[in-house]
Structure 1
Amino acid sequence: MLRTVLIGVTHWHLPLFLEPMQKRDDLSYVGVSDPDLAGAQKVAERLGTIALADYRELVEQTKPDFALVLGIHAEMAATAEFLIERGIPFIIEKPAGLNGAQVSHIAELAAERDAFAAVPFVFRQNGWVTRMREHSAGERFDHLSFTMIGRPPQQYERMASGWVLDRARSGGGALINLGIHFLDLIPYLVPDEPVEVVGAAISNTAWDLSIEDYASVILKVGTSLATIQTGYRYTSPDEYMDMHFSVRTAASYYVARTPTEVQVTTPEGGIETWEVSTMNMKTYPFFVNDAIERVLRGDMPAFDLSDAARAMRLLDRIYEKAGAILPSTPGSVTQE
């Protein structure tokens, strides 16, 4: 039985982790924490455990075997370092820090200590990505295109996460929150190749906040070209996001236009339709269970802080290319 603590429990992604965790019989919840103590107490009541505002006090008091780390981006690296130094395995939500320097530091510390620090880059385990990699094994990737446009950012205020709208505490907008998935996925699909930031542009014109509400990025990865479009501008009341992806290999063209379907075409005109999930949300249960099983076996994560550090260093270069000034210390917020 893993004695488990949950840190930063007012984060809107908590249900994605907690629901599969609660279906397991090998976890016991010894405490939760959040600076918003009232919010933490609501979660604690559901789990029949204690709530504290300070995660450090919680960890020292409960001596857990495992931790889930969510919370404000500006506080994540310090939380990770605290857990690494105490030898506590954990899952930490992406991006795990404000910038590449922060995440690289904790990644290096985790490597030195052989610490278990899993990061949910769940698209790697997504059904369409897994099947596409098998289908295209050994083929050259010619181009990769990913679009993920989320709902307006005011949703985060309604979910008790208004800090997302403050660049000093979040590190950025749609790119660091949504686009980070593809900054990990693209080098994963095209490994061992240098990544060049060919172009990048960001805008905050839709909502006039300190974070970007739209971003467009062009990357060159070896001989492959990749594009990312992400933002907080989708206003549909019916669907969670505007998401569609396309990938061209030497032999096939893959298009994901719906949450459950991928169309595959070949130069000869062949068409195949896969009924497979394309949504990141659907993959969290697999990620959570895989990570916990690895902790129980004494294995390392499938992907970890070193992957997060690589993605965040790339993000820093993209923001620099786009002309954004990122917060290195609290309070250094600028408008795009």
Structure 2
Amino acid sequence: MRSGDGGVPVKIILAGSSHWHAGMHLDAARSCDAEIIGVWDESPDKAQAFASAHGLKAISTFDGVLKGGADLVVLMGHPSAVPARARQLIEADMPLMLEKPATSQTARLAELADLARRQNLFISVPLPNRFGPVFTALSDLKSADRAGPLAHAHFRLVNGPPERYAADGVAWVVDPDVGGGGALRNLGIHGVDAALSMAQGKLRLISSSIGNRIHTSPVEDHALLVLEDEAGALFTVEAGYTYASLKPGGDFEWRVVTSNATLIDRGDSALCATLDDGVSVALAPEPTATRYRLCMRDTLDKLARGEAPTISLNDYVAAMSLIDDAYGKAGR
């Protein structure tokens, strides 16, 4: 991936290297031939350790991020610190990729979105399942006028138990006062964002079941939302910490059904069946971990062309707001 000035590689700073997705963003940036010009973290020791492990330069202060000359800053970190850091970058007119959870408070996120709008600043949000094979195949069907009206869709993302975050050094993820919720806020936001992106008109929250089915964590380990759009399409979003493994991955399925097509993405496999020709074909799968590459490529493409990001801060606010409503409906 090259910038528009003579083929120079895009310069990226990774800010918040202790975030558990930092390695994925590094891999994504390198897959796009971007140049990582620095790594920063609230803990200088962690920034130095990450930099040393990957042959990168550590940045000792956040002022170094602001003045580092990056084309894009990937901002990650603790929700108590990220909003203030994001505000500094926005006020400095620094294009951003803002990793979640940026804050547990939707109102603070909305304030950042309003500031970015006034600054006319590019901010993308990495919700990479929007770049999976189901969305690509559905877009192709729509372009060929073969999709038909959407009937229903199910987005399931169930990972291992809550203690895996402690093992990753980010135990705060399951602290409700910090993360603002559990499996729904952390994992379910991918499905909620997917539903919002596909819905015709406003999404209505029909039911919200949120609870602790297995674990005694202070946050929910399972959630199931049922939603309907103005055209009558039904959406279900399922998220959980109930998969029986601490290893990466879990129970993942994105399923979309239209009047002419059924599309299913299970991470390691995907398919598309179409009624008009009676054909069912395997789609090229995309592992969930490497979808960050697709998200980064799209972000850099849009940034280079001066276009709005595919997934914006406003999309993030909309998903957070719907999740707020789901918690309220479930009495949590």
Partner of 1:36: 43
Deviation at 1:11, TM superposition (A): 1.0
Q: Is the 8 A contact 1:67 1:91 kept in 2?
A: yes
Once residues 255 and 294 of structure 1 are traced to their aligned partners in structure 2, the CA distance between those partners, rounded to angstroms, is: 27
Give the match for residue 90 of structure 1. 96
How do 1:71-220 and structure 2 match up within 5 A? 71-136=77-142, 137=145, 139-191=148-200, 193-220=201-228
Q: Using a 3 Å threshold, how does the CA distance of structure 1 residues 166 and 263 change in structure 2: closer, same or farther? A: same
Aligned to 2:260: 251
Aligned-partner residue type, residue 139 of structure 2: R
Quote how far apart the aligned CAs of 1:263 are: 4.7
1:18 equivalenced with 2:33 (yes/no) = no
The alignment partner of 1:35 has SS state of: coil
* 1:314 alignment partner, one of 322, 327, 331: 322
Q: Is 1:74–1:171's contact at 8 Å kept on the other side of the alignment?
A: no
SS in 2 for 1:73: coil
Q: TM-score, normalised by structure 2?
A: 0.87
Q: CA deviation at 1:150?
A: 0.4
Instruction: State the alpha-carbon separation in 1 of the partners of residues 32 and 152 from structure 2.
Output: 40
Give 1:281's aligned residue.
289
1:237 to 1:177, Cα distance in 2 relative to 1, 3 A: closer
The match for 1:227 is 236
Q: How many residues align?
A: 319
Bigger shift: 74-83 or 132-141? Answer: 132-141
CA distance in 1, matches of 2:244, 2:152: 29
**Aligned position for 1:305:** 313
Residues of 2 paired with 1:146 and 1:295: CA distance?
A: 29
TM-score w.r.t. length of structure 1: 0.86
After alignment, is 90-99 or 114-123 more displaced? 90-99
Shift in Å, 1:147 = 1.4
Measure, in 2, the Cα distance between the counterparts of 1:143 and 1:25.
38
Deviation (angstroms), 1:205: 4.3
Q: C-alpha deviations, 1:19-50, integer Å up to 9, x for none?
A: 13234555241x32223332211112234312
Q: Per-residue displacement from partner, 1:165-218 (whole Å, max 9, x unpaired)?
A: 211111111111111111111121224x11111111111242212211111111
CA contact (8 A) 1:74 1:170 kept: no
Query: 2:164–2:246: 8 Å Cα contact kept in structure 1?
Result: no
CA deviation map 1:98-133 (0-9, x unaligned): 132122111111111111111112222212211023
Contact 2:156 2:191 (8 Å CA) reproduced:
no
Question: Where does structure 2 lack aligned partners over 5 or more consecutive residues?
Answer: 1-8
Determine the C-alpha separation between the residues in 2 that align with 1:114 and 1:301.
12
Decide whether the 8 Å contact of 1:95 with 1:308 is kept in 2.
Answer: no
- Tell me by how many angstroms 1:257 deviates: 4.4
CA 1:10 to 1:237, structure 2 compared with 1: closer, same or farther past 3 Å? closer
Residue number in structure 2 paired with 1:328: none
Cα contact 1:68–1:92 (8 A) shared by 2: yes
Q: Secondary structure, in 3 states, of the residue corresponding to 2:121?
A: coil
Q: Supply the RMSD in Å over aligned alpha carbons.
A: 2.4
Pick closer, same or farther for the CA change 1:86–1:269 going to 2, 3 Å.
closer
Runs of 4+ residues deviating >6 angstroms: none
Q: Aligned AA for 2:242?
A: R
Amino acid at match of 1:62: G
